[in-house]
Structure 1
Amino acid sequence: MESVDRRLLVTGGAGFIGSHVVEAALADGWTVAVLDDLSSGRRAHVPSGVAFYEIDVRDAGGVQAAVRDFSPTVISHQAAQASVSVSVRDPLLDAEINIRGGLHILEAARTNKVHRIVFASTGGAIYGEVSSGAADECTPERPYSPYATSKFAFERYMETYRQQYGLQAISLRYANVYGPRQNPHGEAGVVAIFLQHLRKGEPLQINARQTLGDDGCLRDYVYVADVARANLAAARGDTPALLNVGTGQSTSTRALAEALAKEVGVTPILTSALPRPGDLKRSVLDSTLASSLLGTPTSLDAGLRQLVLWSELEDAAQTNF
Structure 2
Amino acid sequence: MKVLVTGGAGFIGSHVCDAFVKAGHEVIALDNLSSGKKENLDPRVRLEVADIRSPEAAQLVRSERPQVLLHLAAQMDVRRSVEDPRFDADANILGFLNLLEAGRASGVQKVVFSSTGGAIYGEQDVFPAPETHATRPISPYGVSKASGELYLNYYKAQYGMKYVALRYANVYGPRQNPHGEAGVVSIFCTRLLAGQDCTIYGEGKQTRDFVYVEDVARANLLAAEADYSGPINIGTGVETDINRLFSLLAQSAGVSKSPGHAPGRPGEQMRSCIDNRRAQEVLGWRPTVELAEGARRTVEYFRREATH
TM over 0.5: yes
Residue 112 (structure 2) aligns with: 118
Secondary structure of the structure 1 residue equivalent to 2:119 = helix
Residue 70 (structure 1) aligns with: 64
Residue 257 (structure 1) aligns with: 246
Secondary structure of the structure 1 residue equivalent to 2:165 = strand
Q: How has the CA–CA distance of structure 1 residues 43 and 187 changed in structure 2, closer, same or farther, with 3 Å as cutoff?
A: closer
Residue 287 (structure 1) shift: 1.1
Q: Which runs of 5+ in 1 are unaligned?
A: 1-5, 209-213
Code of the residue aligned with 2:294 in structure 1: it is G
Counterpart CA distance in 1 for 2:19 and 2:71 is: 15
Residue 31 (structure 2) aligns with: 36
Code of the residue aligned with 1:236 in structure 2: it is E
Code of the residue aligned with 2:113 in structure 1: it is F
> Which segment is superposed worse, 127-136 or 270-279?
127-136
Code of the residue aligned with 2:15 in structure 1: it is H
2:232 matched to 1:243? yes
Q: Is the 8 A contact 1:258 1:268 kept in 2?
A: no
Secondary structure of the structure 1 residue equivalent to 2:132 = coil
Q: Is the 8 A contact 2:9 2:38 kept in 1?
A: yes
Q: How has the CA–CA distance of structure 1 residues 87 and 24 changed in structure 2, closer, same or farther, with 3 Å as cutoff?
A: same
Residue 305 (structure 1) aligns with: 296
When normalised by structure 2's length, the TM-score is 0.96
Secondary structure of the structure 1 residue equivalent to 2:56 = helix
Q: Is the 8 A contact 2:163 2:229 kept in 1?
A: no
Residue 233 (structure 1) aligns with: 222
Residue 270 (structure 1) aligns with: 259
Residue 148 (structure 1) aligns with: 142
Counterparts in 2 of 1:10-29, with a 5 A limit? 10-29=5-24
Kindly report the root-mean-square deviation, in angstroms, between the aligned alpha carbons of the 2 structures.
1.4
Counterpart CA distance in 2 for 1:85 and 1:36 is: 22
Code of the residue aligned with 1:178 in structure 2: it is Y
Secondary structure of the structure 2 residue equivalent to 1:64 = helix
Residue 132 (structure 1) shift: 4.7
Q: Is the 8 A contact 2:120 2:135 kept in 1?
A: yes
Code of the residue aligned with 1:302 in structure 2: it is E
Residue 216 (structure 1) shift: 3.4
Residue 58 (structure 1) shift: 1.1
Q: Is the 8 A contact 2:10 2:40 kept in 1?
A: yes
> Which segment is superposed worse, 258-267 or 127-136?
127-136
Residue 65 (structure 1) shift: 1.4
Code of the residue aligned with 1:79 in structure 2: it is A
Residue 211 (structure 1) aligns with: none
Q: Is the 8 A contact 1:207 1:216 kept in 2?
A: no
Q: Is the 8 A contact 2:206 2:271 kept in 1?
A: yes
Residue 187 (structure 1) shift: 4.6
Q: How has the CA–CA distance of structure 1 residues 297 and 124 changed in structure 2, closer, same or farther, with 3 Å as cutoff?
A: farther
Identity of aligned residues (%): 45
Code of the residue aligned with 2:290 in structure 1: it is S
Residue 314 (structure 1) aligns with: 305
- Residues 134-180 of structure 1: CA deviation (Å, up to 9, x unaligned): 10111111111000001001100010000111111110000000000
Code of the residue aligned with 1:247 in structure 2: it is T
Q: Which runs of 5+ in 2 are unaligned?
A: none
Q: Is the 8 A contact 2:204 2:243 kept in 1?
A: yes
Q: Is the 8 A contact 2:207 2:271 kept in 1?
A: yes
Counterpart CA distance in 2 for 1:149 and 1:41 is: 24
Q: Is the 8 A contact 1:246 1:297 kept in 2?
A: no
Residue 131 (structure 1) shift: 5.4
Residue 201 (structure 1) shift: 1.2
